[in-house]
Structure 1
Amino acid sequence: MTALRPSPPGPGEPCRILIYSHDTFGLGHLRRSRTLANAVARALGARVVVVSGSPVADRFAFAPGVSAVRIPAVTKRVDGGYASLEPGRALSETVAARAALIARTAESVRPHLVIVDKEPTGFQGEILGMLERAAAEGARLVLGLRDVLDDPVLLAPEWARKGAGEALARLYHEVWVYGVARIHRPLEGLDLDPGIADRLIYTGYLRRDLPPPSPGRAWPPLAEAPFLLVTPGGGGDGAALIDWVVAAYEADPGIPLPALIAFGPFLDVETRTAFLARIARLPGRLSAITFDSEIERLMQRAAGIVAMGGYNTFCEILSFDKRAVLVPRTEPRREQEIRARAAEALGLVRVLSEAGGRAPERMAAALRALPVQPEPSRMVVPGLLDGLDAIVARVRALVGPSGARLPDAVAEAVPEPLPEAVS
């Protein structure tokens, strides 16, 4: 691993941070990267650029000082492989275009710190060249990991194939785990360089705040009174959860609270249309929206949450202290199931497993009990939501000259133009 010291910001110069988010599926990586970027920009006056492969990156608001560069999107196929989102374009061509745009962005930003989300080498190795150049110029490199990656038995061969462990040992100065060890240790069971343990920092989960409301924002009518929020995240793999909830309301007219279903932007149109037809037959008990870039506001307002248990949703459940029923997916990764079971063991949520069958009565019973479950805050887990404060402290330590505080007043700084930037 490089031993170069970073070139610290000069007097009055903003710290420059590049965050890479590969975003091949869903909203999780983009939303986590956005949370980090906004927090660091607000706390330290840093200039932060998020490089994202999400096709909906421009539908989210960022804090002053944060901008996004959207790279060509790829999509995950049913068989687990990947393809370019642009029809007729070879995946290799898309990866080459992504790598070139990432490199140009890094050359423009000249980051003091690079934070990579989840993938040490990027999608199909696309960031390796950029990381090596940034490190040679003195940038600090950090790998940020959600609390759970996958079952080590499945993760180990994947990391070996990608050269992830070698890249982690050779290039990265620190590894931040956005969670607590009591819930999961994501690198345990992997054959990694022993020195990586000394660079590993558990930050705690990333506390979420309510975003500023959009002008003229109105609540869905069903949300004007107590309701349950059903959210499968991006929605690309959430049809089974939605179907189970709708079936429960169809079977049990006595469920005490109505439910608002947020389909997510990636639920396919045909499936969404079929759900809407069923929901229309239950007026006043079910309603639906496709997408809300301020979903935190609906979560904060809801009496309870029904979700699959992705990382961001779990952070929001904890942050807004919401009773929750999690229905985790188990394919192609066990990430959600591992997180949900560990959280249930600590008394933070209730888990409803599809392994017991998807009888409507099982979901109906969970929905009836949800409003009287204990809130997560009744269970004391030290450091549970300290993530953003810990990350701001680590940025100061890594980039500030001799650990000194970074300049605050840089909101007026005019960023250099970036390729294909959306903000």
Structure 2
Amino acid sequence: MSLGKKQDNPDRAPRLLFYSHDTFGLGHLRRSRALAAAMTEADPSASALILTGSPVAGRFTFPRRVDHVRLPGVTKRSDGSYAARTIGMGIDEVTELRSGLIKTAVQQFDPDVLIVDKEPTGFRGELLPTLEFLEQSCDTKLVLGLRDVLDEPEVLAAEWDRKDAIAATERFYHEIWVYGLHSIYDPTEGLPLSAAARSRLHWTGYLRRDLGPIGEPPEQPYILITPGGGGDGKAMVNLVLSAYEQDPTLSPRAVLVYGPFLSGESRDEFETRVAALYGRVTAVGFESQIETLFAGAAGVVCMGGYNTFCEVLSFDKRAVIVPRTTPRLEQWIRASRAENLGLVRMLDEQRDGLTTDAMIRAIRELPRQPLPSQAISDGLLDGLDYVTGRVDALLHREQERATG
């Protein structure tokens, strides 16, 4: 499949640019990486560049013809404010620096399509100068990509109003892709989008994870314990370790992936507890090829992030999801919807209690859960196929206008 050509140079191969602000966690980068891989595989001549603020971007492998540019990192403080992660600059200075780097990358790379993940105006509005530049001087197609769940409707509406995100979405974006299904959840519910903007909405389905060649999994059977990036996974990891400590007969053994952001004293304490379990739980810090561990697992205990949920469905694994409820209800909404559909089981703080006994029961009952495939509906995991088709349509439409 050919994805189209730039109208001022019909012989130039397509260029795709992804903006992934990544102030915390791995979700935005991993989603952009999956999309870039699918699109460059669909058109072997296409190339993709990911702009990311993730501090661990360099620890990932990227497919051929996919590269990344690391933006200066920022981190969120406990009071909700932001600060530069490493360089000695104030947050306004580092935002301005990031904004300039983004605009320069766009001018030099000259993308056919820019796909923005989640934030219509970027981190602290850093994307606006680039969006205005593209509106004035380029034929680049602009796409806003939204995960299946963002937050409670009222909370999201207030956040988008504060960030002027509605105005930016209405003004700049040619299409809005929702990486989920309308029948499961509508992340734009409560947003005052115009009828014209809603006509540009595309429900893609979830983004299936690569089921290609995988490595040799650890000795089986085991259950996989993954808190995603790990930065907010301490409570879940503690519960799992407590379950194995309290019940010496609990099986099968567990393989724990901390994630790159679970570190410091908490990580040291967990390492000590893992060692005392004498192989009933083993742990690794960060597994960029976590697909291998998913493929070999008898089940999964995880948090409710978008990418982990896609992996559970793609590898058809029985799963217990322990969703976070702060600072957003996103994970809880996703997990509760999925449980109602019979895709996973949720360990809910209000209903079940986040206790050691509740975790022991959940792990023991895991083998008796139905597989997700028994409840998956048509189109649920078709997201990657859908978006490659949309890119093809966008670029061919532009080519037809240029030659018509």
CA distance in 1, matches of 2:86, 2:98: 13
State the match for 1:64 in structure 2: 64
CA distance in 2, matches of 1:317, 1:260: 16
Paired AA for residue 253 in structure 1: P
Aligned partners of 2:6 and 2:399 also within 8 Å:
no
State the match for 1:8 in structure 2: 7
Aligned match for 2:355, one of 341, 353, 359: 359
Q: CA deviation at 1:10?
A: 4.1
154-163 or 82-91: bigger deviation: 82-91
Q: CA deviation at 1:82?
A: 1.3
Paired AA for residue 7 in structure 2: P
State the match for 1:135 in structure 2: 135
Aligned partners of 1:111 and 1:134 also within 8 Å:
no
State the match for 2:189 in structure 1: 188
SS of 2:389's partner is helix
Residues 347-383 of structure 1, C-alpha deviations (whole Å, 9 max, x = no match): 0000001234322111000000112211000014121
TM-score of the superposition, structure 2-length normalised? 0.94
State the match for 1:43 in structure 2: 42
Q: Does 1:249 align with 2:248?
A: no
Q: CA deviation at 1:87?
A: 5.5
Question: Do the aligned partners of residues 63 and 286 (structure 1) sit closer, same or farther apart at CA in structure 2, a change above 3 Å counting?
Answer: same
Aligned partners of 1:106 and 1:130 also within 8 Å:
yes
Q: CA deviation at 1:230?
A: 0.5
State the match for 1:92 in structure 2: 92
1:4-403 alignment to 2 at 5 Å? 7-8=6-7, 10-45=9-44, 46-86=46-86, 88-136=88-136, 137-210=138-211, 223-355=218-350, 356-401=352-397
Residues 78-131 of structure 1, C-alpha deviations (whole Å, 9 max, x = no match): 122211102542111110110111011001111111100000000011011111
Residues 165-211 of structure 1, C-alpha deviations (whole Å, 9 max, x = no match): 00000010100000111221000111222211100000000011146
Question: Do the aligned partners of residues 94 and 212 (structure 1) sit closer, same or farther apart at CA in structure 2, a change above 3 Å counting?
Answer: farther
State the match for 1:411 in structure 2: none
CA distance in 1, matches of 2:396, 2:16: 12
28-37 or 275-284: bigger deviation: 275-284
Aligned partners of 2:316 and 2:371 also within 8 Å:
yes
Question: Do the aligned partners of residues 211 and 272 (structure 1) sit closer, same or farther apart at CA in structure 2, a change above 3 Å counting?
Answer: farther
SS of 1:13's partner is coil
Percent pairwise identity: 52
CA distance in 2, matches of 1:143, 1:108: 21
Aligned partners of 1:114 and 1:141 also within 8 Å:
yes
Aligned partners of 2:347 and 2:354 also within 8 Å:
no
Q: CA deviation at 1:305?
A: 0.6
Aligned partners of 1:232 and 1:308 also within 8 Å:
yes
SS of 1:30's partner is helix
Question: Do the aligned partners of residues 350 and 19 (structure 1) sit closer, same or farther apart at CA in structure 2, a change above 3 Å counting?
Answer: same
CA distance in 2, matches of 1:243, 1:402: 53
CA distance in 1, matches of 2:289, 2:149: 25
Aligned partners of 1:30 and 1:57 also within 8 Å:
yes
Q: CA deviation at 1:268?
A: 2.2
CA distance in 2, matches of 1:326, 1:63: 30
CA distance in 2, matches of 1:218, 1:288: 16
Question: Do the aligned partners of residues 84 and 282 (structure 1) sit closer, same or farther apart at CA in structure 2, a change above 3 Å counting?
Answer: same
CA distance in 2, matches of 1:380, 1:262: 27
SS of 1:306's partner is strand
Paired AA for residue 250 in structure 1: E
SS of 1:400's partner is helix
Q: CA deviation at 1:135?
A: 3.0
Say which structure, 1 or 2, has more relative contact order (CA 8 Å, 6+ apart): 1
Aligned partners of 1:279 and 1:286 also within 8 Å:
yes
